[in-house]
Amino acid sequence: MQRVVSMVARLGLRGQPLPSVPGRPLSGSQTKIHGCDRVKLMESLVVGDIAELRPNQGTLSLFTNEAGGILDDLIVTNTSEGHLYVVSNAGCWDKDLALMQDKVRELQNMGSDVGLEVVDNALLALQGPTAAQVLQDGVADDLRKLPFMTSAVMEVFGVSGCRVTRCGYTGEDGVEISVPAAEAVRLAKALLENPEVKLAGLAARDSLRLEAGLCLYGNDIDEHTTPVEGSLSWTLGKRRRAAMDFPGAAVIIPQLKGKVQRRRVGLMCEGAPMRAHSPILSTEGTVIGTVTSGCPSPCLKKNVAMGYVPSEYSRPGTRLLVEVRRKQQTAVVSKMPFVPTNYYTLK
C-alpha cells in the first residue's frame, strides 16, 4: 500500500487534542526555555544530551522520575534564536508544565538564569513521501537543506512566524508546523488547496506510528516503564550515562547491562487483530505479558502489535500465543519497525 501525503491537524504532538479551556493555550504542549542555564534545566529533567545539540537541531527525549519511570516523551530543539523549544504530549500538559515550572523556580531560587514561556501556537503535521514537495510551494527556504530533526522559522503560505520542524510520528518524511493559533485554519486551508493533501485524523496516524514501531505514551510507555524496558535506551545520551546525572539514573543505568525483567517487543500474527490489553502467553499457555498497542497494518496486510514480555521471550522469531476474542492464536516476536522508515537525511 502506497503512503500518501496527509495532514493531521492537532493541538499537541502525539497526544489527543485538548478542548479549549479558559486560561490554557490551545497548543497545550509547546514551551520555550530561556536563559543562560536553559540546558542545565532540561538536563535536570530528561535523559538526553541537550548540550550537544547544534543550532536548530532537535532530539526525542524522556522526562523520567527517580524510580526510572517515563513521565512523558518530548522533543527538545536548540534554536538559533537562543532558547530551547520543547514539544510534549498534550495529554500530559498539566504535569509536564508543572514539572518544568517547579524546576525553574528551584533553579531561580539558587540564582540560576532560566525562564519558561508557554507558546500559544497550534501544530499542523504534514506527513508523507511528498510532504516537502507540497510545502516547498509555500516557503522561500530550500527544504532540501532541512534534514530530519532540524527546524527553522519561516513564512509558510503567507503566514509569518511559523516554526517548521522536519519530523513527525508516522515513520514517513514530513514536517510539523508550529503556527500562531489565529492563523492555523488559514494555513490548513492553504495546504488543502493542493490535491495531494488529504485530512487525516489521529486514528490514521496511530496505525502509521505502530507500523514504524513508535511508542504511544500512556499505552506503550508510562511512569512504571523504564527506557530500557521500553527499548528506548538509544535516547540516553552517552555523556549522561557516564555522569548518571538524570532522574532515575541509579535504576536505569544498571539495566543497560542486562538487568531488566521485561522488554517491549513487536508482534505479528494472522487471524483477528491484536488489541491493547490482549494477554500474551507462552506456547505452554501461561500468561507472560500484555499487548499495549495493536492494529491491522494497512501496508503489510498483516496484524501488528507491540507489548511487554519477559526478557527470555524477547528474541525475534520467538513463537508465542495471544488471546484475541477468547481464542488463542500464534504470534511471532518481530523486529521493529515493521515498515521501514523514510526519514529525510542529507547525503
78-110 pLDDT tens trace: 999 999 999 999 899 999 999 999 999 999 999
Residue 202 has pLDDT above 70, yes or no: yes
Report pLDDT for 21: 28
CATH 2.40.30.110 placement within the chain: 260-340
On the question of pLDDT at 124 being above 90, the answer is: yes
Distance from C-alpha of 281 to C-alpha of 333, rounded to nearest angstrom: 12
- What pLDDT score does 23 carry? 32
More confident residue, 200 or 143: 143
Residue 222 contacts by C-beta under 8 Å, 6 or more apart in sequence? 69, 70
Does 176 appear as a known binding residue? yes
Q: How far is CA 242 from CA 184, 217, 229, 236, 249, in A?
A: 43, 27, 19, 10, 10
Long-range contacts of 322-327 (CB under 8 A, 24+ apart): 322/267, 322/269, 322/274, 322/278, 322/279, 322/280, 322/281, 322/291, 323/278, 323/279, 323/281, 324/271, 324/272, 324/273, 324/274, 324/275, 324/278, 325/272, 327/272
pLDDT at 1: 40
Please say if the pLDDT value at position 73 is more than 90.
yes
The separation between CA 339 and the C-alpha centre of its own chain, rounded to angstroms, equals 17
- For 260-340, the fitting CATH number among 2.40.30.110, 3.40.50.1580, 2.60.40.10, 2.160.10.10 is 2.40.30.110
pLDDT reading at 25 higher than 70: no
The whole-number average pLDDT for the span 4-13 is 45
Of the candidates 23, 27, 2, which has an alpha carbon nearest to the alpha carbon of residue 13?
A: 27
CA distances from 158 to 108, 152, 195 (A): 39, 16, 19
pLDDT at 16 over 70: no
The chain-wide mean pLDDT, for the chain, equals: 91
Domain 5-210 has CATH 3.30.70.1400: yes
Min mean pLDDT across 142-146, 188-192, 254-258 is at 254-258
Residue 202, Cβ density class (10 Å: 0-12 exposed, 13-18 middle, ≥19 buried): middle
Q: Is the pLDDT of residue 171 over 60?
A: yes
Q: What is the phi-psi region of residue 283: left when phi exceeds 0, alpha when psi lies from -120 to 50, beta otherwise?
A: alpha
Q: Where is pLDDT greater, at 49 or 20?
A: 49
Amino acid, res. 107: L
Digit-coded pLDDT (tens) for 229-261: 999 999 999 999 999 999 999 999 999 988 799
Considering the chain, tell me which residue range(s) the CATH 3.30.70.1400 domain(s) occupy: 5-210
Task: Report CA-CA distances (Å) from 50 to 79, 86, 89.
Answer: 12, 11, 19
SS3 content of the chain, % helix, strand, coil (to 5): 20, 35, 45
Q: How far apart are CA 188 and CA 126, in angstroms?
A: 10
Report whether the peptide linkage leading into residue 129 is cis, meaning its omega lies within 30 degrees of zero.
no
User: Would you state the pLDDT for residue 29?
Assistant: 86
Portion of the chain with pLDDT greater than 90, in percent: 87
Entry pTM: 0.91
* Structure confidence at residue 7 (pLDDT): 61
Task: Give the pLDDT confidence score for residue 84 in this predicted structure.
Answer: 98
Interval 321-344 mean pLDDT = 96
In this predicted structure, what is the pLDDT of residue 65? 98
User: What CA–CA distance (Å, rounded) separates 173 from 3?
Assistant: 11
Tell me what the mean pLDDT of segment 183-212 comes to: 93
Q: pLDDT band for position 6 (50/70/90)?
A: low
